[in-house]
Structure 1
Amino acid sequence: MILSLACLLGVFGLAACSGGDSDTDDEIATMKGDKITVGDFYDKAKTDQNSQQIVLDMIISQVFMEKYGDEVSDDEVNQQIKDTFGDEDTLEQQLEASQMSRGELEETYKQSLALQEGLKDHVDLTDEDLKEAWDSYHPQVEAQLIAVNSEDDANDVKEQVDEDDADFGEIAQENSIAPSKDDDGKVNFDSTTPAEEVPDEVKEEAWGMDDGEITDPIAVESEYGSGYYILKMNKNQDKGDDMDEYKDEIQDVATDNKINDQEFTTKVIGEELQDANVKIKDEAFSDILTQFTDAAEGNQEGSNSTADSATEESTEATEAEDSSNE
């Protein structure tokens, strides 16, 4: 991910050359009888699909940063970076490999968080949204987790933990590659825990387990990597029937569900672009906002249609009442 961010920043710089202090006639390369200028590059690059996406991302980022950037704290940015890269040594290695500065990385994360703040600002939860979140929610459990790279290692660990008087924590310390290995493999998680911390396959297995039960090796293939997991459930709990007991958690789940809904985010981004009065000046990028503005305008038309329908119903009711009085 960080390499991709560095590439984006590099392209941003090249694109800026077309309208900043640099001249579009500045030469990128020369050859016998010809040359390639910054202007040549821009004219060629701007029609590329990747360039179109980059400009769209820049517009959205700047719109949301202008309106919601002040709502994002430095602590939130640093916490996001820590959650992604872990220790400082790993982060520094990645920054060096990508030739990206800490400041550039922080700015990128701040833009992402500003977008999230903007989306949350538009969330208006219904009873149906809360009910859907409640149905999918499982409260926090206490467990121990061993993660290994291969099936052979997983089978070997499984044999060890099934032995009489086996100490799951010691086996986790000796074999696990998970960050929790230093704490006897102990993990606390609920249904909202990110998949990079506890894979979804592991969570789904956990909800039906009894206290003291140990799973067979669970194979996981995801964007975060492949591996095998063995879970020991220490304390499971049923959520019961009282949703109010988990009111804050359910609202968070319902909000996340909204933010992760593509139709919702497209409409919200479109509304914010319209509110910011974004105008495309280069014909090459004339269509990049269409999906968002169409979604926003469609929502407005739907609202107008509802209002018109209500007006018509009110008018019909009035006419009917007048007729009855006559």
Structure 2
Amino acid sequence: ALDSEETAKSVLEELKAEGADFAAIAKEKTTAADKKIAYKFDSGATSLPADVVKAASGLKEGDMSEVISVLDPATYQNKFYIVKVTKKAEKKADWKVYKKRLKAIILAEKTRDMNFQNKIIAKALDKANVQIKNKAFANILVQYANLDKKSKATRSN
């Protein structure tokens, strides 16, 4: 990762020069605290920002990306990435080989999906027939309720 677009563009030009050593330049220029420059990932990876994974997935072996700008959710600052694909694994035809990994990807995706979480909570509250009768607390669970339940919650005393 790089901290400025200007630096990233300069590094990209350096990397495009004939005979440039991507790994050496990346290790020297990265602002990552651990200086890590090599990543193994698939489309469900969380070790890199989703935009970086998406860009890398579209590259062929040996190809290098342009500068990829990503908003860092921790600092609200843009980080800039340049990716070079050094190896792509062949996919096996039998999906069962990937079953465990697919399960982990789906679970991670659902865990980050607030709409999915809200639906699960809403179903649990509905099944338990939770009703808030105290007007002061009526809006606490309203985000999980259906529209008809919202009106019941606000009408109840």
Task: Give the alignment's TM-score, normalised by structure 1.
Answer: 0.38
Letter in 2 for 1:247: K
Instruction: Please say if 1:241 is aligned against 2:56.
Output: no
Instruction: Please say if 1:192 is aligned against 2:44.
Output: yes
Q: Please name the residue that 2:102 is paired with.
A: 250
Counterpart-to-counterpart distance in 1, 2:119 and 2:63: 46
Counterpart-to-counterpart distance in 1, 2:44 and 2:33: 19
The SS at the match of 2:39 is strand
Q: Please name the residue that 1:287 is paired with.
A: 139
Q: For 1:1-326, what aligned pairs fall within 5 Å after superposition?
A: 147-181=1-35, 183=36, 185-194=37-46, 197-221=47-71, 223-224=73-74, 225-259=77-111, 260=113, 262=115, 264-273=116-125, 280=132, 282-294=134-146
| 1:270 and 1:292 in contact (8 A); partners too | yes
Distance 1:243 1:229, change over 3 A: same
| 1:217 and 1:228 in contact (8 A); partners too | yes
| 2:72 and 2:79 in contact (8 A); partners too | no
Q: Please name the residue that 1:109 is paired with.
A: none
Matched residues, number: 145
Q: State the identity as a percent.
A: 32
Kindly indicate which of the two structures has a greater share of residues assigned to strand.
1
The SS at the match of 2:40 is strand
Gaps of 5+ in 2: 150-157
The SS at the match of 1:288 is coil
User: Per-residue CA shift, 1:160-215, capped at 9, x if unaligned?
Assistant: 2223332222212221112452x4x1122222223xx4222221121122222222
| 1:160 and 1:166 in contact (8 A); partners too | yes
| 1:207 and 1:236 in contact (8 A); partners too | no
Distance 1:268 1:217, change over 3 A: closer
Distance 1:214 1:242, change over 3 A: same
Distance 1:179 1:190, change over 3 A: farther
Gaps of 5+ in 1: 1-146, 298-326
**1:231, distance to aligned residue in structure 2 (A):** 1.0
Kindly indicate which of the two structures has a greater share of residues assigned to helix.
1
Distance 1:261 1:280, change over 3 A: closer
Distance 1:268 1:208, change over 3 A: closer
Distance 1:276 1:222, change over 3 A: same
Counterpart-to-counterpart distance in 2, 1:278 and 1:180: 49
